[in-house]
Amino acid sequence: MGEAKRPLFGEIGIDLFAGPTEVHIVADEAADPFTVVTDLLSQAEHGPDTPAVLITTSEKVRCEAINIFDELLGNLPTAELAGTSWRDYGEAILVDNINEAYKLADKFSSEHVQVLTQNPREALEKMSNYGALVLGEKTCVPYGDKYIGTNHVLPARKAGN
């Protein structure tokens, strides 16, 4: 986004050059791997240093998400940026249980934490370190950023601690 604004800087008013973004998705076996991947990609394509991390209790979701990621990446006009982010900062982490997933996501203190589980609202009681907590499959990070007005003002890089 910042690079798109840069050529116009000084010619017209620019709100700001946004800093880095990041997303961690907590998922269990109820998560749709396609949804997981599209939401990871929606952040990974922001720049070459964007962490996009899946933390899941399901080996099936993890494996399917990795395969879908590779398929979808090739079709993106931003494939170079998203691919670099995924290669250098992306992860698909398998944990033993949902409490471990919440604990790990809380430790990362990400700007965006999206919860795609059978009971996403339980994250409200289990987590406290994040910029925005996005709950359930009918929500996604861009909705939160663009529609409720938090875009470019959330703490990133562990500043949510």
- Residues with catalytic roles: 111
Separation between Cα atoms, residue 101 and residue 80, nearest integer Å: 29
Strand partners, 26: 55, 115
Give the count of alpha carbons within 13 A of 156, CB side only: 16
Report yes or no: 110 and 88 within 8 Å, Cβ to Cβ.
Answer: no
Q: What angle do CA 80, 11, 81 make, to 5 degrees?
A: 5
Separation between Cα atoms, residue 53 and residue 22, nearest integer Å: 8
